Amino acid sequence: MLLDKLINYLKLDKQEFLFQFNSHPNYPSALAFSDTLNFMGVRNDAYELDKEYWDELPEEFIAIVDNSFSLVKKTGAQYSIYSDKAKTLNKEELLKKSTDFVLLFEKDKIEHKSVTSYKPFIYAAFAVILVYSFLSQTWFEALFNILSLAGVYISLEIFNQKFGNTSTVIGSICGDTAGKQNVNSCNKIITQDKTSILGLKFADFSLIYFVGITVLGLFLPSTSFIIKGFTFASVVAIGYSLYIQGFVEKTFCRVCLLIISVLAAQLVIGLFLFENVYFDIKTLLLSLILWIVSFSLVLYLNNTLGEKENLQKSNAKNLRFKRNYDLFKRELLENEKITFTDTETFSLGNPDARLRISIVSNPYCGFCKDAHKIMENLLSKYPNDISVQMRFNYSPDQQNEKFTNLISDFMYTYKNKPAQEFLHLVEYWFETKDENKIRKKTGNILNSEDLTPLVEMSTENRNAGLNFTPIILINGYQFPDKYDREDIYYFIDELTEDEEI
């Protein structure tokens, strides 16, 4: 199920989205898709809506078109569809190709961590090679290097596609607009290649070859003899590829034919334009070392990325089990319910919410920072659906003056300023761990706050055995030890709707 166009349009992290979607316990259902969008910051509501009411839908919504989750964008009398590829349908075509499922969404302003890409470094290396070729070599030597770079780029895109990174370049070459047959032909040749030498496919050797030829091309004309030999040897690869496509698979792959064209062009240049045929044993040895290094590097990347992909698939399957709400609920309800007398002190969010989350913590606890960050994120994402109470463990006879002053500043801010400012103050404390900065930020000069409610709250915590921090409780039930605290994000929607809890 390809979702590239949809994911790109919503500006989501593709790898993160696919991982969360694949690991959902109900994958690949509409519920899994909806929950994943919620998790990624795209709030949505799903409906089964009869087609007669689709005119009332907003200009943008998500539907299942041609058995694929698709973004539908209305533009006049036409509908733009974004999924595996972009296309335009009229109303009759859309209604005919769609199910009754519609998903209305509203994207939150959430920043996703950017993933460092290797492509800028590749492009920089390409630019250096091109500049060097045009300034220091003849026109046909520079042309040979350009063809080598084209081969590296295409081979690299094919190599990446092996590990789930769909390439728009390969998709466009194979014919996104010509129907699915061409796309399947490319996939059939590339992904189902039965050639395997130490785990490397025929396409992987294309990358090794072009990397080596690119490096050798920088030293033309001294390496022309070696390059001629390899370009002649490429005839075998050309013949093998054409045989596989024409007689074995009986379908032609456009990207494969493009690589063959590059090889053929280099063969012509090497045959008719490279004149230096001086043989040097040192150059031959260095060339062999270069091929060995290229082969080893591609083999290492292939094995490493393959293991990473297998681990991700295995982890996704395990997460489907772990993220099963029924199992989580069973573990949650196995704990004895704890009832607190004071549920108002340091309480944030919607006081009438059915889902009440408590966090038992200590301002000087190193692990409490992350737990408080989780609560802050939940309050930001579900301000009307949850209530959060911060239950600090504090005993005046066991604490020093700094701790007392800090708690007093918290109490002063909570009583006299907006709840959001109190929340930011707690976050600021865990960032700075500086009591003087907190005092300056709050402006609490008198330091005369009544800490009795906090002392009583701490007593309740101790009586309930909540001495270690941080501890998260959901409607009085302690968060299960078998789950990580961050797992609460996966279950928050079900928790807000579960009347039993």
User: For 332-363, how does the pLDDT look when each residue is reduced to its tens digit (9 = 90+)?
Assistant: 998 889 999 888 889 999 988 989 999 999 88
88-92, 276-280, 414-418: range with lowest mean pLDDT: 276-280
4-13, 114-123, 478-487: range with lowest mean pLDDT: 114-123
pLDDT at 65 over 70: yes
Does an H or E element contain 44, and which? Answer: strand 42-48
For residue 118, the model assigns a pLDDT of 67
For residue 181, the model assigns a pLDDT of 39
Give the mean model confidence (pLDDT) for residues 18-26. 75
Task: Report the alpha-carbon distance of residue 242 to residue 244 in Å, rounded.
Answer: 6
pLDDT at 132 over 60: yes
Of these ranges, 190-204, 205-219, 244-258, 262-276, the one predicted with the greatest mean pLDDT is 205-219
Give the contacts of 237 (CB within 8 A, at least 6 positions apart).
Answer: 202, 205, 206, 209, 263
466: confidence class by pLDDT, cuts 50, 70, 90: confident
More confident residue, 135 or 118: 135
Classify 25 as helix, strand or coil.
coil
111: confidence class by pLDDT, cuts 50, 70, 90: very low
For residue 146, the model assigns a pLDDT of 92
Which token pair is 318? 């395990």
3-state secondary structure string across 310-327: HHHHHHHHHHHHHCCHHH
Give the mean model confidence (pLDDT) for residues 393-421. 84
For residue 147, the model assigns a pLDDT of 92
pLDDT at 199 over 80: no
pLDDT at 375 over 70: yes
pLDDT at 161 over 80: no
User: pLDDT tens digit string along 317-331?
Assistant: 666 677 788 888 888
Burial (Cβ within 10 Å: 0-12, 13-18, ≥19) of residue 272: exposed
For residue 112, the model assigns a pLDDT of 42
Q: With pLDDT > 70 as the criterion, what percentage of the chain qualifies?
A: 86
For residue 167, the model assigns a pLDDT of 65
Question: Could you tell me the sign of the dihedral formed by the alpha carbons of 35, 37, 43, 48, in that order?
Answer: negative
pLDDT at 55 over 90: no
Burial (Cβ within 10 Å: 0-12, 13-18, ≥19) of residue 209: buried
Whole-prediction pTM: 0.54
DSSP letter at 479? P
The alpha helices in 417-451, defined as continuous H runs, are 419-432, 435-442
Give the mean model confidence (pLDDT) for residues 123-135. 89
Domains of the chain with bracketed CATH: 4-107 (3.90.70.10), 119-311 (1.20.1440.130), 336-497 (3.40.30.10)
